[in-house]
Structure 1
Amino acid sequence: MFAIRLHAFGPAEKLTLEEVDDPVPGPGQVRVAVAAAGVHLLDAALREGVRGPLPEPPALPTVPGREVAGVVDALGAGTDPHWLGRRVVAHLGFAPGGYAELAVTDAARLHDIPAGLDFAQAVTMIGTGRTALGILQFTELGPDSVVVIPAAAGGIGTLLTQYAVHSGATVIGLAGGPEKTARVKTYGAHLAVDYTDPAWPATVRARLGGRPATVVFDGVGGDIAREAVALLGPGGRHLVFGWSAEGIRDGRAHLVEGVSEQVLGPAMLGRAGGPDPLRTLELRALTEAAEGRLEPAVTRFPLAEAAAAHRALETRKTVGKVVLEP
């Protein structure tokens, strides 16, 4: 099979397409003929040798990628035969191997892809979607809510925007440049603002007419987040799930005392419930998309162009989830 391999940490050019042996599923595992592989900012950090939330950087050489969707084409010993030939999606956890034509994972990680979702949409919801649903556990949105979403054109941002709009909230979506703000508007944001314009906070205040924001969904950090937090009124909440403007460092976000709450990791899982909280969130995310309440936004690249996909993601030239298609 062909796969993207990383032999040395560094820039995106270190990702190379190579022919490697087909993986073989072990007991309780399946092999998936990959039709879509998710790309995440964490993948880019790991590519550079940054540990991020992992115990240590991946061992080299490696095939990056932790989210796949496709068709099961082989079974390991003892695996339920009903999986063979099924359209499935899975998050591989911290195990790499997604940027490839074939990937192996435990059958316990599989979900059937609901009718009406293509492979790229399904792979968007299995990781990015579950995170969005996890974040939304931390606040109740309704007609009295005024929501500010930095990076509203990103994978998580587009989903949060849609959910907030459906809840009846007033939604302010921030994005970089006119093309992205136009896309944010299509997802229902009441105001889509270009955060590269230094006057954007004044634009938001004028539109709100003195009404304060109640929630900031922040995956960006940095100056954009600080300006957004300044829009909050008394009792407002700053829900932090990333800090892309400042880079992934030690797994800790910059929190503003009295306002901010970091909502990833144990905090999120503790609210999801069930014997497997991540799986609970995955099922919720797939259901939201299948029933039409959330529409996954996708930017697609061929598998061979994984390096270009990483560069585009890192320079904020993408909309929605970045997906590789073998």
Structure 2
Amino acid sequence: MLAWRVEKNGEPHEVMHLDEIPDPVPGPDQALVRVRAAAVNFPDALLCRGQYQVRPPLPFTPGVELCGEVLAAGEEAISVAPGSRVIAQPVLPGGAFAELAVVHASSVRPAPEALDDAEAAALHIGYQTGWFGLHRRAALRSGETLLVHAAAGGVGSAAVQLGKAAGATVIGVVGGPDKADAARKLGCDVVVDRRAQDFVAVVKEATGGRGADVVYDPVGGDAYTKSTKCIAFEGRIVVVGFASGTIPAPGLNHALVKNYSILGLHWGLYNTHDPAAIEECHRELTRLAAEGAVKPLVSERVALDGAAQAVQRVADGTTTGRVVVTLG
């Protein structure tokens, strides 16, 4: 089969190479899946750089989520039916940027019928992260104000739609007019172009000086620091990631004085500590997709041979919504 391989760490466009390798063989509790679509995530770039919390052995194939067709299942994977259309996370070091992938049976879930292959591939990690961040960690309530950083990006766009579905007023922060247009189409009530506006002032004006009840931050750096200046009394800042490359050092005295919470979110831990919650979340996301409340914004669909450049564009922050590698 054809698969992208990383044999040394570095920038994605430099270290990813498309090679012919042997077809993978599933274990007893695994399934073999023909990849129909694989969403590009920022962690794919971190994997290439050797900077992700999980470091698969070299060589490896990036790609952490997919939509595909089950070809075969191991003898212990009795819940996985061959021929079914599913979403899943591949078993590294054999990632999703390949014609075939092996997945654990426990990670396999029915692909929502309301979404096509590319949309379904982009649903799982980003929307699960958003749902757990907003509901399990921040307990977002209808009528509250949600501030989303990188609101037109892959993770942020999911949080915008989930926030609107929960009845929140959503303020989206983006970088540039094209991303501002995308954020408006996603449903943001207020859009701030950080290159031209001070989002702290906009949030205070939009909330009558109260501030945002919940901040969803996959960026870190200045985005986090400035968010502490416009967080409401009993507000919650959800730390999702550090796409800016800068990990902030929070002033705990400031959190004490202003009475707000700083909440970390590592979604992958739920696979270990509460897998039933992930299944519950998938059912909820499938329902929301069927109702049209959520629909991944797929801005680019690229062929398999374009995966390396796609990962690099996501790493560079030049994309809007989700970029998906399609193998239809």
The bucket for the TM-score relative to the shorter chain is 0.7 to 0.9
Amino acid at match of 1:316: G
Equivalence for 1:288: 288
Please state how far the C-alpha of 1:275 moved relative to its aligned partner: 5.2
Kept in 2: contact 1:125–1:282 (CA 8 A): no
After superposition, the C-alpha distances for 1:31-64 in whole angstroms (9 at most, x for unaligned) are: 11101112221121120122x322xx22111111
Contact 2:31 2:80 in 1 (8 A): no
> Residue type of the partner of 1:133?
W
- Do residues 176 (structure 1) and 175 (structure 2) align? yes
Could you tell me how far apart the structure 1 residues matched to 2:285 and 2:209 are? 35
- 1:16-35 correspondence runs (5 A): 16-35=17-36
2:97 matched residue in structure 1:
99
Contact 2:91–2:102 (Cα < 8 Å) also in 1: no
* Structure 1 equivalent of residue 119 of structure 2: 121
The yes-or-no answer on 1:167 pairing with 2:163 is no
- Tell me by how many angstroms 1:274 deviates: 5.4
Runs (4 or more) in structure 1 with deviation over 6 Å come to none
Question: Any unmatched runs of 5+ in structure 1?
Answer: none
TM-aligned CA deviation for residue 268 of structure 1: 7.1
Q: TM-score, normalised by structure 1?
A: 0.88
CA–CA separation in structure 2 for the residues paired with 1:93 and 1:19: 19
Query: In 2 relative to 1, CA 308–221 (structure 1 residues): closer, same or farther, beyond 3 Å?
Result: same
Task: Note closer, same or farther for the CA distance 1:152–1:256 as it changes in structure 2 (3 Å cut).
Answer: farther
Q: Tell me, in whole angstroms, the C-alpha distance in 2 between the residues paired with 1:111 and 1:207.
A: 40
Verify the 8 A CA contact 2:67 2:87 in the aligned structure 1.
yes
Deviations 1:216-259 (A, max 9, x none): 11111111222222111322221111111125xxxx76444223
Alpha-carbon spacing, 1:60–1:93, altered in 2? closer, same or farther (3 Å): closer
Rounded to whole Å, the distance in 2 between the matches of 1:130 and 1:266 is: 8
Partner of 1:263: 264
Please say if 1:6 is aligned against 2:21.
Answer: no
Q: TM-score, normalised by structure 2?
A: 0.87
Distance in structure 2 (CA, Å) of the matches to 1:287 and 1:245: 33
Contact 1:128–1:321 under 8 Å retained in 2: no
- How many matched pairs? 318
2:138 corresponds to which residue?
A: 139
Q: Give the whole-Å Cα distance in 1 for the aligned partners of 2:208 and 2:37.
A: 44
Paired residue for 1:151? 150
Contact residue 216 and residue 229 of structure 1 kept, 8 A: no
1:221 corresponding residue in structure 2: 220
2:218·2:240 contact (CA, 8 Å) conserved in 1? yes
Aligned partner of residue 282 in structure 1, secondary structure: helix
Q: Secondary structure at the match of 1:83?
A: coil
Structure 2 partner of 1:73: 71
**Counterpart contact for 2:130–2:155, Cα < 8 Å:** yes
Residue 298 of structure 1 aligns with which residue?
298
The amino acid across from 1:284 in the alignment is E
For 1:314, the equivalent position in structure 2 comes to 315
Deviates more, 1:4-13 or 1:102-111: 102-111
Correspondence list, 1:192-231, <5 A: 192-231=191-230
Residues 1:194 and 1:27: Cα distance change in structure 2 (over 3 Å): same
Any idea what SS the aligned residue of 2:284 has? helix
Deviations 1:294-319 (A, max 9, x none): 11112322221122112211121212
2:226 and 2:214 map into 1 onto residues whose CA distance is: 13
| 1:284–1:93 CA distance, 2 compared to 1 (3 A) | farther
Instruction: Give the Cα–Cα distance (whole angstroms) in 1 for the partners of residues 263 and 251 of structure 2.
Output: 10
Greater shift in the superposed pair: 39-48 or 87-96 = 87-96
CA–CA separation in structure 1 for the residues paired with 2:58 and 2:232 = 48
**Gapped runs of 5+ residues in structure 2?**
none
Amino acid at match of 2:133: I
CA 1:269–1:73: 2 relative to 1, 3 Å: closer
Structure 2: distance between partners of 1:153 and 1:197: 16
**Structure 2 CA distance for aligned equivalents of residues 198 and 160 of structure 1:** 22
Contact persistence 2:10–2:49 (CA under 8 A): yes
Cα pair 1:240 1:260 within 8 Å, conserved: no
Residue 127 (structure 1) shift: 1.3
| Equivalent-residue separation in structure 2 for 1:92 and 1:126 (angstroms) | 12
Cα pair 2:60 2:93 within 8 Å, conserved:
no
Native 8 Å contact 1:134 1:269 kept in 2: no
1:138/1:20 CA distance change after superposition, 3 Å: same
Question: Do the aligned residues in 2 keep the contact of 1:129 with 1:156 (CA within 8 Å)?
Answer: yes
